[in-house]
Amino acid sequence: MARRSPTLASFALVLAAGAAIAAEDIGDADRGAELFYDCAGCHEVGAGAVNRVGPHLNGIFGRRAGAIEGYPYSKAMARAGADGMEWHLDTLDAYLENPKALVSRTRMNFDGLPEAQDRADMLAYLRIFSANPRDIPEAEPTARADLPDLDPAILAIEGDPEYGEYLSSECTTCHQRDGGDGGIPGIILWPAEDFVVAMHAYKQKKRPHPVMQMMAARLSDEEIAALAAYFATLNP
């Protein structure tokens, strides 16, 4: 179990006593919103939030691990939930510090937040979107500044997964087919639209990664759609 900062430990003790604590008592929610930007490529939170690459995070406090119906959790995360793990301040803090230390084969490709204050601020922000003591507010989902301008016709292209498999060898020299990371983000089971949007964000140089920008620039709209269709259905 990861060590909690004095701020987190104090909050947990007061919460156990039944007091209503504002989210700011965990950390700085405004700063947490800024930190959450790095998570927003996979997770949504706020009014209208839906599952994307990762599950939505509305109501995360008090929720059993692996509990959102229809979301394709890793076997490890589903097993953790079946064994009774719930997301509370201590488990969320430990998961944010080192996801794979808490759930060893989670598919969340995130190295973790080693600084206790960063975790406290992030949790203060996420706490706003859980009920008791705060109901989920009518706030917009976290903005993503790296979304490209896309013609709806591009999103409507139906990709051929067999063609995507043929094209995928260049992708899988770095991205692993089993969903592992090894420092490289996993891309299997991405919703196809998210994959298309991400690749066009690289193509338009709104996502700052020179290798991915180069790779995306070489792909046609149809090839991106085919890769999206393939990786969306590729099980680890």
What does pTM read for this prediction? Answer: 0.59
Closest C-alpha to 185, from 171, 165, 203, 206 = 171
What's the pLDDT score for residue 205?
A: 83
- Chain segment 57-94, per-residue pLDDT in tens: 999 988 999 999 989 898 889 999 999 999 988 899 99
pLDDT averages per 10-residue partition of the chain, 236 residues:
42 37 67 89 86 89 91 90 91 91 85 92 89 46 59 92 93 77 70 87 82 92 95 82
Give the amino acid at 106: T
What's the pLDDT score for residue 145?
A: 54
What's the pLDDT score for residue 55?
A: 92
Domains and CATH numbers, the chain: 6-127 (1.10.760.10), 152-232 (1.10.760.10)
- List helix spans (H) across the chain: 6-16, 29-35, 75-82, 89-97, 99-102, 116-127, 152-155, 161-167, 192-203, 210-217, 221-232
| Contact partners, residue 226, CB within 8 Å, separation at least 6 | 159, 160, 161, 163, 164, 167
155-174 in b/e form (b: 16+ CB < 10 A) is: eebebbbebbbebbeebeee
Q: Running DSSP on this structure, what letter comes out for residue 234?
A: -
What's the pLDDT score for residue 11?
A: 39
